[in-house]
Each structure stands twice: as C-alpha cells, then as structure tokens.
Structure 1
Amino acid sequence: MNREAEGLVWHLGDWVISNTVITTWLIMLGFGLLALLLRLSGYQKPSSLHNALEAVLVAIETAVADVVPAAAVRRVLPFVATLWLFVLAANLVGLLPEMHAPTRDLSATAALAMLVFLSTHWFGIRAHGLGGHLKHYCQPSVILLPFHIISEITRTLALAIRLFGNMMSLEMAALLVLLIAGFLVPVPLLMLHVVEAVIQAYIFGMLALIYIAGALESNEPDSSNREENL
C-alpha cells in the first residue's frame, strides 16, 4: 500500500510514526516555545500578545467558573484550558499547506477522549475520595450500576467520534469544493473552516468540562468541607 495513502512517515520496527503524530508533536512544541518566550519576555511591559493570551485565559476561566464548583476552578482550569487550546490548534493546523488536522484521525480524537475520561475520574476521586466517587455510580439504586458504566463508555466513544467525524467531513468538503470550483472560492472556504474548527473545539472542551463538573458534584454531606481542604 502507498505510504502516503496510509499517512505513514517513518518506521522503527513495529513502531509507526504517522503524520498525525508529527503534527501533534509540532503543536506541543509550538505551545512549549510560546510559553517559554512569554516567560523570558517578562511582564514588566505586557505586549499585545500578552494581552491577547490573557484575554483568552480569562474567557476560559469564566467558562470553567460557570460550570464547576468555585473551590475547584483553579484545579480544573489548567487541564481544561490546555485541552481547549490544543484542540483548537489541532483543528486549525489543517489550514496550513501540506498539513492535515490531527483531529481528523480517529486515533488522535480517541486519545483526547481517553484523557477526558481519565481526568474525570481523577478529579472526582480527588474531590470525594475513591469510595465517595464510586458511590455515585450506585445512586439512587445499585441496579443502575451497569447503566452508569455503559453511559461512561458510550459518552467517551461519542466524544472521540464526534470530533473525528466533523473534522474529517470538513476537510473532505473543502477538498471537493476545491476540486470542483478550483481556487475561485478560497476565502469563504477558509472562513468556514475557521468557524467550524472553533465550534468543534468549543464543543469538545465544554463537554469535557461538563463531565468533570459531574464528577465534582457533591454526593456526600461533608464533601463541601473536603473540597475546601484539597
């Protein structure tokens, strides 16, 4: 099979490094360099970039504060903000020549969905303890335990497939339009891509935030006190 058709870049025995992996690493490297640059530049004279990033962070913090308990905002914010920004960058990178959005690859969206799944239980266990977190799966009756487990699995699958399906269909639609109309309509097409990329990143991040908030919900009489002590 053609290597380009498979999207393969490099082999190391049984290990395969694909375009998705390379692009993901480049996005993480970009965020790392940006953070280092901002740290080295200092905050004595904030630049327009500082102000723009601060506005983005404030907007994300406001969204988090509207969903999760006030005591947990600072704890949840780093993960949710990183997730939101990464998914947005991954969606938009497909606009660059010879680049493809990692989120059009099911393996990438499945990994992101698994991170959300694990983080949901991590935050829930930190807030209520292992017993308290597991207890809510048996409420209001232990009979509902299998249904809660199925719900956890299906919503994780839906999270991965929704993002993958939307980004894949977006790139396929853009390719078809370019094949039919050539480059006569590039600007509207780019605007559509940007809008859809932002919307999909927002939906993914908001669903992750809602799942985490559900795990943080108080299910024990003394959980509010425990939350303040964390």
Structure 2
Amino acid sequence: MENGYSFAVGSLIISLSVITTWGIMLVLTLTAWLSTRRLTLFPGAIQTVVESIVAAIDEAILAVAPEHGRQIMPFIASLWIFLTIANLVSLIPGLHSPTRDLSVTSALAVLVFFSVHWFGIKTQGLKKYLHHYLTPSPILLPFHIISEFTRTLALAIRLFGNMMSLEMAAMLILLVAGFLAPIPILMLHIIEALVQAYIFGMLALIYLAGAIQSQQLNSQE
C-alpha cells in the first residue's frame, strides 16, 4: 500500500494508485475509441493489431467457456487488458504499478467475486444458482461459502504480493548492481507482469465458467 497520498477531498483520500488507475482507464478508453471508430474491411496496421488482440482473448475464453464466451468476453477482455497495462506501467519512470497496492488488487478481486455470482444468476436464475451450494449435500454449504471468500482473498493477495515483490526485487538489484544489468531486469519485469496479468484473468475466467456451467450440469441431472 502507498505510504502517502496525493491529495484529499474532505475525508476522502485520493492515493497515487487511484490516480494511476484513473489514468490507465482514460488511456484505454481513448485508445478503444480511436482504434474502432473507422473500422474497414481491409484493416490497416492499428486495426490489425487490435483485431489480433481481441481474437487471441476470444479464443482463450471460448476454450474455457465455449457456450458463453460471447457473454463474458467484455468483462474478461477488459480485465486482462487493464491488468496488463497496470502491471507494466511501472516501467515508465516516476510511476508505480497500481497492482502493487493491496487496496487495488482487493477491489479487483471483489469485482470478480460479484461478477461470478452476477453471471451465474443471470444465466441460470436465482433459484437454480443457489441450489448449487447445496449439492451434492446441504452439509457442504459452509464449505462452499468459505471457498468463495478464501479464493477472493487469494486473488487479491497473490497479485499484490507478486507485483510488490517484483518491484522490490528490481530496486534491490539496481541498488546492488547499479545500471549494469538494466536489460535483464527489464525483461524479467515484463515477463512477470504479463504472467501475473494472465494468471489473474484466467482464474477469473475459470471462476465465471464454473459458476455458469456447473449450473447447467445441475439442471440437466
């Protein structure tokens, strides 16, 4: 978490992580608007890159949730792209990744938590969705509830811990070795940032697919 903050509005503290997050969302919004407002049948370089990214994400989602890929695509794609940029933003001098802040990763984990239940209820209905917590036996209800909260906590702490340790390791290496090894450190940071974004997004995708598809299996029995 941040040691300080940028400014306060009354009793509301606006931290550097919040400002960075707003900046990333603004950049992504403008990029999405600019890259899609003039789509053509014969794409240029920018449209080709955008379509390639969307196609790759779509393929990954359909591999896990083939019947509901189009439904959860906007959420998972937005989450993946945001996390990738958020994890890599610390490469810009003077900026720090907002995902090294536990409050940010906790907010993302809570967002995934509510999204899982939202898509499950939307797809199967409230009654059928809640029934899954009582199968195969009502005795397992407390364990199902505990698992919902523990995996949300694990999502938040895993991303926070990995990104915080990554930045600390990079700073320690730079302090010891100076700028003799900037390229290996840079490559390590990029690879680790991409891996952590992929893991978080994939876990969110698996949780969503499980909430939707498990209900379909119960309804077929």
Percent identity, aligned pairs only, is: 56
Question: Is 134-143 or 42-51 further displaced after alignment?
Answer: 42-51
Question: Where does residue 219 of structure 2 map in the other structure?
Answer: 221
1:62 aligned residue (42, 59, 63): 59
Render the CA deviation track for 1:197-219: whole Å, top value 9, x for unaligned: 00000000000000001101114
Contact persistence 1:69–1:216 (CA under 8 A): no
Matched, 1:104 2:100: yes
Query: TM-score when scaled to structure 2?
Result: 0.95
* Distance across 1 between alignment mates of 2:33 and 2:88: 22
Question: Where does residue 164 of structure 2 map in the other structure?
Answer: 168
Question: Is 106-115 or 36-45 further displaced after alignment?
Answer: 36-45
Contact persistence 1:69–1:213 (CA under 8 A): no
Question: Where does residue 82 of structure 2 map in the other structure?
Answer: 86
2:43 aligned residue (42, 46, 62): 46
1:117 aligned residue (113, 117, 142): 113
Matched, 1:131 2:127: yes
Contact persistence 1:132–1:219 (CA under 8 A): no
Contact persistence 2:132–2:218 (CA under 8 A): no
1:32 aligned residue (23, 29, 34): 29
1:10 aligned residue (7, 10, 21): 7
Q: Secondary structure at the match of 1:51?
A: helix
For residues 204-219 of structure 1, the aligned pairs below 5 Å read 204-217=200-213, 218-219=216-217
1:145 aligned residue (141, 144, 153): 141
What runs of 5+ residues in structure 1 fail to find an aligned partner?
Answer: 224-230
Render the CA deviation track for 1:106-164: whole Å, top value 9, x for unaligned: 00000000111010001100111001110000100000000000000000000000000
2:38 is matched by which residue type in structure 1?
A: S
* Distance across 1 between alignment mates of 2:177 and 2:194: 25
* Distance across 1 between alignment mates of 2:56 and 2:44: 19
Contact persistence 2:24–2:85 (CA under 8 A): yes
* Distance across 2 between alignment mates of 1:135 and 1:68: 21
Q: Secondary structure at the match of 2:64?
A: coil
2:135 is matched by which residue type in structure 1?
A: Q
How far has the Cα of 1:69 moved from its partner?
3.7
Question: Where does residue 179 of structure 1 map in the other structure?
Answer: 175
What runs of 5+ residues in structure 2 fail to find an aligned partner?
Answer: none
Matched, 1:189 2:185: yes
How far has the Cα of 1:222 moved from its partner?
5.5
1:16 is matched by which residue type in structure 2?
A: I
How far has the Cα of 1:45 moved from its partner?
4.9
Contact persistence 2:123–2:212 (CA under 8 A): yes
**Alignment: residue pair count:** 218
